[in-house]
Each structure stands twice: as C-alpha cells, then as structure tokens.
A and B are shown apart, each in its own frame.
Chain A
C-alpha cells in the first residue's frame, strides 16, 4: 500500500514529525509529563553548581550549628535553607541537587558500560553462533547468578583491602559504575542476541553476505542498526535499575561516601534522624529518587509500546 510518487526528499526533522514515535508522543500525556519531569531533573542536576546556593562539598559552608533545620513551611525554618539542612548542617536543597547529579552520573555511566559490553557480546553471540554463542551465554548466566550486591561487596572489600578506604572513596563513582555495569550487562546481551537471531535470518543479511562483505561489517553496519529499538527500550529500564541499585548500595554503606553523597547515601544519612523528628533529611531525597525513577520507568513503558513491532503497523 505504500507508493511514493513525489520526488522531494523529506528532511530528518520532517521524518521525525511524520513518524509514529512523534505521533504517539503527541497523544500521550503521561509520556509528555514524564519527559518534562525527567529533563527538568537532569538540567537541574547538571547545573547544580549554578543553581545551588551553597557548595555542599566545601567544608567552609558547613555550619554544624545550623544542622537539622526544617524546610520552609515548618516553624523554626531558616530562610537561608529553603528545604532545611541535614545532620551535618548542609543545605538540603543544594545537596539534593548535587546528589541527583551523582545518581544520574552513575546511572548513565553504568548503563553505557552495560550497553558496551552487552551489545558487543550479544551481537557476537547471536551473529556468530556456535561455540562463541554458547561460551558468551554461559558467561552471562554465571554473571546473572551473582547479584549486584554480591559483586559490590566483593569488589568493595577487595579494593578497600588492597588500595585502602581513602582510595575507594576517592574513586567511588567510577567503582559504582564498574560494579553496576559489570553486574548487569547480561540483560543487554540477551536482548541483543534475541533480536540479532531474528534479524540474522532476514534476506538483507543474506544479500550482504552474497555481496562479499565481512562479518564484522555485516554485524555492525547491517544487523546492529536494526536491533536498536529493543536496545533503546531496555536502556530506559536499565537506567532506572542502575539508579536504584546505586541507591541501594549507598543505603547499605557500600556506595557513595557521605562527603560526596548520592540520593541513596542522603537517604541513609537521614535515616538515623527520623526518630528524632527530622524526617525531611530522608524523605525529601527519597521523594526525588522516586520521582526520577518513576518518570524514567513510565517513559520506558511508553517507548516499549511504541516500538513493539507487533503493535506498530506504520
């Protein structure tokens, strides 16, 4: 039913505007809201040095006398600290901004590492098949049988034992990216492998082989671009998962140190003060974490529905 009689070539922007993606985005209020919230959070987090009234990493701004001040809508608030302060007297608003930045950084970083490993291994396993496939997939199975937590404890213990605690704290962001990235790559590998297996049997791959192209080029130039949709979908879920993993690890004391807190370590640091009535130190970063993860997950759900080939009949 598709015919093309016009000779003008639509631009990239026009293609996007004509696409099903754009069409369904325009009609989906949830997706629009989630994207708006997500973008706001990202911009706020990464412009933290400009937005934040104080620099929480700078010890000079910390005044232990002004610790545990409540947020502005509660009696006894200090107007300098709109969301109150934490147990160390740091401005909660500033530290949430910085914390969100750390959380997002780890989330994105870990997912990029996962994607790099998972896509490469998945592509190789699916396209080359045979022994390579069997080896990589068993490796993935073994990897999945260790939980992220276990990997974190082991790596953390080893690094701390060999390099010392100070070293671990200094490179905590990188460490967490490495741990979460290594622990979760099989998710990518499996998704990519499944869609490579489906694509590999299509005739355009045969056509490329008949042309005489080498496996590497067929894999990356022909097969990979056609497996991008599931990669996008799984990426959203994985970013949310990575942020939660990081929060969980930090909450357990295996993640970011309190001097450079992420949302998880903020929640943890406030947890001890809930009993004494300073609930905001835990609950406000907690709410930010929930909003962040929820918006990413809902975006992921929408994307999955749009990109599902069974539902999509453009």
Chain B
C-alpha cells in the first residue's frame, strides 16, 4: 500500500454566491520517497489540494467527501490532536512566503528548538544540536551564528533554506512544498531546487511539489499531476508527460512555453482563460478552450460539452479526455477487426 493515498477528494467553499467546488474527484497516491509534482495555473486548485492533505483548509472551505489515508491512518476524519502529531512531524510543509512559517519576533534557533520540543521529549541542548545539524545540511554558511539571528536579518534565499531545515527537523516522511521558489530569483531558485532534490533523495523523503513552472517540475519530480479547474486531468510519469502529453490542455501548456517555439515566431497559445470555479462550463471544463472538440469528420464531439470525461489509461499515463478515449477506442477496434 502506498504511503499516502488520496481518493475522491472533494473540497468545497461556502461563499455568498453559493457553494463553490474547489476540488472534485481528486485521487492520487504517493509512495515512500517518491517525488510528485502538482502542476496547474492559478485557480486550478493545486494549493487547495496541498492544504487539504493536512486538513488545513480554512473556513469557508471544507472537505465534503473522499478520504486521505496516510500510513494506514485516515487524516480527514482524524481529531485535531491526532493531526498535530502528523503535521510537522511526519508531513511538513514549505510555503511560498517564508514569513508564513517564520515568526518575526523569535530567533531562528528558538523557533527550531520549539518545534523539536513540541514533538519530542528532548532537552534544549539536544534540540539545538539537531537544529545546527539541519542548518548544516541545507548548506547555510556559519550555521552557529544563524541560530541566534532573526528572520528579517536574512535574505530571501537564506530564509527559504531555513524553512527547508525546519521542514526536515523531525525527519518527516513527506514534504509538501507549495511554490517554494516562486518569489526567488532564477539563480537562487536553481540552488534551492537542487538542494531540495538532493535532501529528498538522501533521506528518502517523499515530496509533493506544487508549482506552475513546468521546467522546475520536470527537473525535480518523478510523477506529475496536471490540474485544471479543480480536477486532475492527466497524471503519469514526468518524462512521459513532458515528452508526450496526451491531454490537449497539457499539450497547450507545454507548447506555450517560449522555449518550445522558434525565437521570433508566435508562441502556441491556448485561447481564453481559466474559467471561474463558480461558473464552470458543462462537460469537460476545458472544452471552450480546446482545439480538439471536433471529431475527425469535422463534427463536434457531443460528449465534450455534455459529459465529464473519465480517466483512460494511455501508456503509463491516465488522461481524462474524450478525444484521447475515442482515439484509443478506434485503435482497439482496428486491432480487433482484422
């Protein structure tokens, strides 16, 4: 059984316009030591997915259905007390803004010691030793002095390293990183991602990396989940999805990158924009922007506008697309007919 198993996760927000479904039917698994990327644009629900794993969804959001199983325990029905034992201890989180985790009035050392002592029965001295060791692991220069510094005395890149050290503090099984390098410069981003990758491999820690940056995902993760308008639309191995995306949206997303086009020529854009979750199109949520809603004979495929596509297996990937399903069906028929 997988370390983390999410099935049929359904998250809703009770807003004044009515109930908005932020996640629908989200299912995925994470093996021990596996690195998974959740990719999507803003409004796709990728951050909601990450927050709901630890039941951190704030009101007016709530988990309306589905199960999250971690190491045999069901997290979404667990008491707040039980969850606290998991949070930070066995699953830790890294946010985009380091100041979401760091308390500005406590020194780095105090925060790390406090975190350790909350989960383990150890002396302050032992805790400081562990903290120092973790700071060394994240390659912070002169870690001894850093312990007594305050967050505002450090640069953005340094803060994010501290956050990674805090995330590693209790030797977790999984780190959830929500856009960990979006606020950083390219050279610093490259350093932080390389560090995160190295540490995850070294300690056999699972990683769920939430990002909009396909380049980062392709370098760090083994598997990808592509999300659109609250649903998973494609999942599979990173290599396969990057090299041969099946879903028209994934294709569009990859082809829209400037590095995929000849310099000076127009980029392959996806038309339109992400629909609002409170006003989703019928059928496949992507159909108003999709270039493949017509069948080979030029007639529009009615299923695209009427039916939510189910997952079909295509190689090592699972894709939710009527067009792909139809192509696979045609191929199967052809193979059977002679």
Q: Is the CB of B276 within 8 A of A23?
A: no
B43 contacts across to A, CB distance below 8 A? 1
B42 contacts across to A, CB distance below 8 A? 1
Rounded to whole Å, the gap between the CB of B31 and the closest CB of chain A is 33
Q: Mark A1-24, 1 if CB is under 8 A from B, else 0.
A: 111010000000000000000010
Q: Is the CB of B274 within 8 A of A3?
A: yes
Complex-state Cα separation, A1 to B20, whole angstroms: 12
Inter-chain residue pair count (beta carbon < 8 A): 13
Q: Is the CB of A2 within 8 A of B16?
A: no
B276 contacts across to A, CB distance below 8 A? 1-3
B157 contacts across to A, CB distance below 8 A? none
Complex-state Cα separation, A1 to B275, whole angstroms: 7
A2 contacts across to B, CB distance below 8 A? 276
B274 contacts across to A, CB distance below 8 A? 1, 3
Q: Is the CB of B16 within 8 A of A3?
A: no
B279 contacts across to A, CB distance below 8 A? 3, 5
Q: Mark B16-57, 1 if CB is under 8 A from A, else 0.
A: 100000000000000000000000001100000000000000
Q: Mark A36-58, 1 if CB is under 8 A from B, else 0.
A: 00000000000000000000000
Interface residues on B, range: under 10
Complex-state Cα separation, A5 to B271, whole angstroms: 13
Q: Mark B271-298, 1 if CB is under 8 A from A, else 0.
A: 0011111010000000000000000000
Interface residues of B in 233-288 (CB under 8 A from A): 273-277, 279
Per DSSP, chain A at the interface is loop
Complex-state Cα separation, A1 to B42, whole angstroms: 8
Q: Is the CB of A1 within 8 A of B277?
A: yes
Q: Is the CB of B16 within 8 A of A23?
A: yes
A5 contacts across to B, CB distance below 8 A? 279
Complex-state Cα separation, A3 to B277, whole angstroms: 10
Complex-state Cα separation, A2 to B275, whole angstroms: 8
A23 contacts across to B, CB distance below 8 A? 16
Rounded to whole Å, the gap between the CB of B42 and the closest CB of chain A is 8
Complex-state Cα separation, A31 to B43, whole angstroms: 34
Complex-state Cα separation, A219 to B277, whole angstroms: 38
Complex-state Cα separation, A79 to B301, whole angstroms: 84
B16 contacts across to A, CB distance below 8 A? 23
Complex-state Cα separation, A1 to B274, whole angstroms: 8
Question: Can you name the residue of chain B whose Cβ is closest to the Cβ of A24?
Answer: B16
Rounded to whole Å, the gap between the CB of A311 and the closest CB of chain B is 14
Question: Can you name the residue of chain B whose Cβ is closest to the Cβ of A18?
Answer: B17
Complex-state Cα separation, A1 to B277, whole angstroms: 7
Complex-state Cα separation, A52 to B15, whole angstroms: 49
Complex-state Cα separation, A3 to B276, whole angstroms: 6
Rounded to whole Å, the gap between the CB of B166 and the closest CB of chain A is 27
Complex-state Cα separation, A3 to B280, whole angstroms: 11
Rounded to whole Å, the gap between the CB of A313 and the closest CB of chain B is 10
Complex-state Cα separation, A23 to B18, whole angstroms: 13
Rounded to whole Å, the gap between the CB of B43 and the closest CB of chain A is 5
Complex-state Cα separation, A1 to B276, whole angstroms: 5
Rounded to whole Å, the gap between the CB of B16 and the closest CB of chain A is 6
B277 contacts across to A, CB distance below 8 A? 1
Rounded to whole Å, the gap between the CB of A10 and the closest CB of chain B is 15
Rounded to whole Å, the gap between the CB of B49 and the closest CB of chain A is 16
Complex-state Cα separation, A3 to B278, whole angstroms: 10
Interface residues of B in 78-99 (CB under 8 A from A): none
Question: Can you name the residue of chain A whose Cβ is closest to the Cβ of B16?
Answer: A23
Rounded to whole Å, the gap between the CB of A305 and the closest CB of chain B is 15
Question: Can you name the residue of chain B whose Cβ is closest to the Cβ of A313?
Answer: B15
Interface residues of A in 236-263 (CB under 8 A from B): none
Complex-state Cα separation, A5 to B279, whole angstroms: 10
Complex-state Cα separation, A2 to B274, whole angstroms: 9
Complex-state Cα separation, A184 to B43, whole angstroms: 46
Complex-state Cα separation, A3 to B274, whole angstroms: 8
Rounded to whole Å, the gap between the CB of B84 and the closest CB of chain A is 28
Question: Can you name the residue of chain A whose Cβ is closest to the Cβ of B277?
Answer: A1
Complex-state Cα separation, A3 to B16, whole angstroms: 17
Complex-state Cα separation, A2 to B278, whole angstroms: 10
Rounded to whole Å, the gap between the CB of B154 and the closest CB of chain A is 26
Question: Can you name the residue of chain A whose Cβ is closest to the Cβ of B278?
Answer: A1
Rounded to whole Å, the gap between the CB of A3 and the closest CB of chain B is 5
Complex-state Cα separation, A3 to B289, whole angstroms: 14
Question: Can you name the residue of chain A whose Cβ is closest to the Cβ of B43?
Answer: A1
Rounded to whole Å, the gap between the CB of B48 and the closest CB of chain A is 12
Question: Can you name the residue of chain B whose Cβ is closest to the Cβ of A2?
Answer: B276
Question: Can you name the residue of chain B whose Cβ is closest to the Cβ of A6?
Answer: B279
Rounded to whole Å, the gap between the CB of A285 and the closest CB of chain B is 42
Q: Please name the 5 residue pairs, one residue from A and one from B, whose CB atoms are nearest each other, closest first.
A: A1-B43, A3-B276, A1-B276, A23-B16, A3-B275
Q: What are 11 A-B interface contacts by the 8 Å CB criterion? A: A1-B42, A1-B274, A1-B276, A1-B277, A2-B276, A3-B273, A3-B274, A3-B276, A3-B279, A5-B279, A23-B16
Interface residues of A (CB under 8 A from B): 1-3, 5, 23
Given A2-B276, A23-B16, 11 other A-B residues pairs in contact with their CB atoms under 8 A: A1-B42, A1-B43, A1-B274, A1-B276, A1-B277, A3-B273, A3-B274, A3-B275, A3-B276, A3-B279, A5-B279
